[in-house]
Structure 1
């Protein structure tokens, strides 16, 4: 009986110990879960705070805008300068991630001289708030209407239509053509019109060859033109080297003519017929008639040496 009671007591102790350990492990698990939930809530709060800060700072600061060194605009250099300035400004406001209102507000700070006087006049008429609320497309249209008059735009259009390759300088032609495409895109839209206009300005020696490939983009047309232009220049150089060489197609070259004339003029002048030739003069006998001058006494070769 004593041994049985001891074993039961030991078993009860072991069971109580196990229960205590289970309770401790459950407590630790609950504490761990609580810590994880606290950490996740803290992370969510941090993310929410960062998002709020981003929303608050959405857009671009004027100092950031000035980092890109935007050029001032005076409005007195003509349509091409105006179009180039607007093109540059569009790139800067895109890179600096300005909002619509900031685009107009920051860009208008670059107006100087005549352009600033005009802008201040608009502010007096329409109010500064209404002008700052303009979208970028409308702002550009207002600038173009004022500083790109119709007559100057017509001149640019005429220059584009008359733009052609000078000599073999294809690089300069491409550079100027791309500039026209940027500043007056509406004149070469869609892409098919751009390709057609580019091909029209090429030299006649390669124009039809480029057109026969039916390029669908200006880049492909430029690549073809460059390849064919190199071949045309090479052929011209080879042709120049051939000048002064042996006769081609029965035609006597200049060098051959000079040699022939030198040979004829080395003959003495005949006292009987007045022509240059060696040997006995055949004129008195009338046995030989020149096929060049139709006179007797000499041959065609020596007829060219008459003085």
Structure 2
């Protein structure tokens, strides 16, 4: 009897073709995962570079935001050179102190919470005594919780009595140009107008009073220019006065030349 042949049947999953297919599928999956990871990394790097360019080159990124939101410290405030106030010069001194203080608030980005604390550190002499007395009376918390507007009102009531303001208002109404000194008139008018702000509810009221103090030699020309702002009025007054002065000087020179010519002895023929 012939011996039986032994046949070896390969399982489907172990055939060379199946093995190759499985290997290919694994490789493709790994490759796709690597591609996805690479794309993600590239996008992340691009975003990081873009943010870096915006913040460092264009100046509109995180660095600028950090500067803009940085809190103003007392040294920062003092670097802006606020004025001291002693309370001895009346309205003029107080007005200058307030104007300078508000400018310092703006350029130092001083927070509202620190305005009273920092500004009152510039008080000296009688003004400092007045403030310390007030702090003792109402307490630290209430005193330093005061707003800047409230502090200005209290200090105006203390150092700008109505009698002094009244004197300044009279001086403003009587103010006129002396000779041809328009520049001096402009400076004094602006100072008094600032101190007596309630006199001029509208800009047109201030312009009317200003023009009224100009001399006849330039008054008509300035009125004819119909200035809409104080700056236009003052600039026109200076310009017209300069022309009048130059014209007068030229006439003086011409008259002198004619007089010199007439005084020369005539040549004998």
Q: TM-score range by the shorter chain?
A: 0.7 to 0.9
Higher mean alpha-carbon deviation, 204-213 vs 12-21, is at 12-21
CA distance in 2, matches of 1:189, 1:146: 24
> 1:13: how far off?
7.7
| CA root-mean-square deviation | 3.7
CA distance in 1, matches of 2:256, 2:101: 59
**Measured at CA, do residues 12 and 137 of structure 1 come closer, stay the same or move farther in structure 2, by a change above 3 Å?**
same
Which residue is equivalent to 2:4?
none
Q: Give TM-score scaled by structure 2 length.
A: 0.73
CA distance in 1, matches of 2:257, 2:40: 100
CA distance in 1, matches of 2:123, 2:40: 61
Q: Give TM-score scaled by structure 1 length.
A: 0.65
Which residue is equivalent to 2:182?
170
> 1:35: how far off?
5.1
Q: Please state whether the residue corresponding to 1:165 is helix, strand or coil.
A: coil
Q: Please state whether the residue corresponding to 1:109 is helix, strand or coil.
A: helix
Match of 2:207 among 167, 190, 195: 195
**Measured at CA, do residues 243 and 30 of structure 1 come closer, stay the same or move farther in structure 2, by a change above 3 Å?**
closer
CA distance in 2, matches of 1:203, 1:25: 93
> 1:184: how far off?
3.8
Alignment gaps of 5+ in structure 1: 1-8, 247-252, 259-307
Which residue is equivalent to 1:27?
33
Alignment gaps of 5+ in structure 2: 1-14, 56-61, 264-269
Which residue is equivalent to 1:235?
247
CA distance in 2, matches of 1:164, 1:21: 98
Alignment of 1:207 onto 2:219: yes
CA distance in 2, matches of 1:185, 1:11: 99
- Size of the alignment, in residue pairs? 235
Cα shift readout 1:82-139 (whole Å, capped 9, x = no counterpart): 1111111111112111122311111111112111111122112211211111111111
> 1:202: how far off?
1.3
Greater RCO (Cα-Cα under 8 Å, separation 6 or more): 2
CA distance in 2, matches of 1:36, 1:137: 55
Does structure 1 conserve the Cα–Cα contact (< 8 Å) formed by 2:172 and 2:193?
Answer: no
CA distance in 2, matches of 1:38, 1:232: 73
Correspondence list, 1:1-307, <5 A: 18-32=24-38, 59-241=71-253, 243=255
Q: Structure 1 or 2: larger helix share?
A: 2
**Measured at CA, do residues 29 and 243 of structure 1 come closer, stay the same or move farther in structure 2, by a change above 3 Å?**
same
Larger radius of gyration: 1
